[in-house]
């Protein structure tokens, strides 16, 4: 398997492992008889949170995109690379949102798992562009990366248009069949009417 594929799949695995780390710490307090009591801090791990489970699912999609295709070749342009890029962006956004919420709250503290999530998301987004076809590592120029992303976006757009055209043709074909059936019914009725007129 190509080193780039192995690397991306490994990074996705790291992201899933991040669920075993603490993600947030929540201050618990309560009031009784007019007194406010501090019950200490409660730690939540990634696998205990719905957004942690969502992150695991997205990392699984990244891993799948990394291993699908010809194993000896680098991850292909188009759907595979765009899937990894978009999924990584969603994970990065999720991690940053958690940090923002924690920063605005005096009861929630971000824990190491969130930083591992963000780190893995950034690595997953970068990894497909730092490997050459022969498996060697290089630092790509920004222009080359942007061109690669643009090519992938064009491929996805063309494929989507092709699928949309096939669906449209399918429905148009069904409509044409219905029209043909209606025309044949009308012709049959007209022929029957003519036959009756001749008999009369």
Q: Is residue 149 part of a domain?
A: no
Residues 175 and 109 grouped into a single domain: no
Long-range pairs, 34-42, Cβ under 8 A, ≥24: 41/109
Domain co-membership, 163 together with 132: no
Number of compact structural domains in the chain: 2
- Contact predicate 88/61, CB 8 Å: no
8: in domain = yes
pLDDT tens digits for 77-126? 888 888 899 999 999 999 999 999 888 887 888 889 999 999 999 999 98
Which of 140, 164, 185 lies at the terminal end of a domain, its last residue? Answer: 140
pTM exceeds 0.75, yes or no:
no
CB 49 within 8 A of CB 35: no
Residues 122 and 193 in one domain: no
Same domain membership, residue 163 and residue 121: no
pLDDT of res. 59: 94
Burial of residue 45, with CB atoms counted within 10 A of its CB: 0-12 exposed, 13-18 middle, 19 or more buried? middle
**Inside any domain, residue 148:** no
Question: Is 37 part of a structural domain of the chain?
Answer: yes
Residue 146 lies in a domain: no
Q: Are residues 80 and 120 in the same domain?
A: yes
Instruction: Kindly state whether residues 185 and 136 are assigned to the same domain.
Output: no
Which residue range forms the structural domain that includes residue 136? 3-140
Pairwise CA distance, residues 40 & 29, whole Å: 7
Same domain, 135 and 97: yes
Residue predicted with more confidence, 46 or 151? 46
pLDDT of residue 39: 56
Q: Which among 140, 162, 180 is the end of a domain?
A: 140
- List pLDDT tens digits, range 149-191: 887 788 877 777 778 777 877 777 655 555 555 665 666 655 5
- Together in a domain, 66 and 124: yes
Same domain? 58 vs 14: yes
């Amino acid at each position: 398997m190509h080193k780039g594929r192995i690397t991306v799949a490994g990074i996705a695995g790291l992201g899933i492992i991040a669920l075993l780390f603490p993600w947030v710490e929540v201050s618990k307090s309560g009031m009784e008889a007019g007194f406010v009591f501090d019950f200490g801090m409660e730690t939540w791990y990634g696998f205990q949170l719905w957004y942690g489970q969502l992150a695991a699912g997205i990392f699984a999609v990244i891993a799948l995109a990394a291993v699908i295709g010809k194993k000896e070749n680098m991850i292909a342009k188009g759907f595979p690379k765009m899937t990894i890029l978009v999924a990584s962006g969603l994970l990065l956004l999720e991690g940053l949102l958690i940090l923002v919420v924690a920063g605005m709250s005096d009861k929630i503290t971000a824990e190491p798992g969130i930083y591992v999530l963000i780190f893995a998301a950034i690595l997953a987004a970068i990894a497909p562009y730092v490997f050459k076809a022969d498996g060697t590592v290089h630092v790509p120029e920004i222009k080359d990366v942007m061109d690669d992303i643009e090519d992938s976006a064009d491929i996805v757009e063309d494929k989507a248009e092709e699928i949309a055209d096939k669906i449209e043709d399918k429905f148009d074909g069904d409509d044409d069949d219905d029209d043909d059936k209606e025309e044949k019914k009308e012709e049959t009725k007209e022929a029957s009417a003519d036959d009756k007129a001749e008999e009369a």
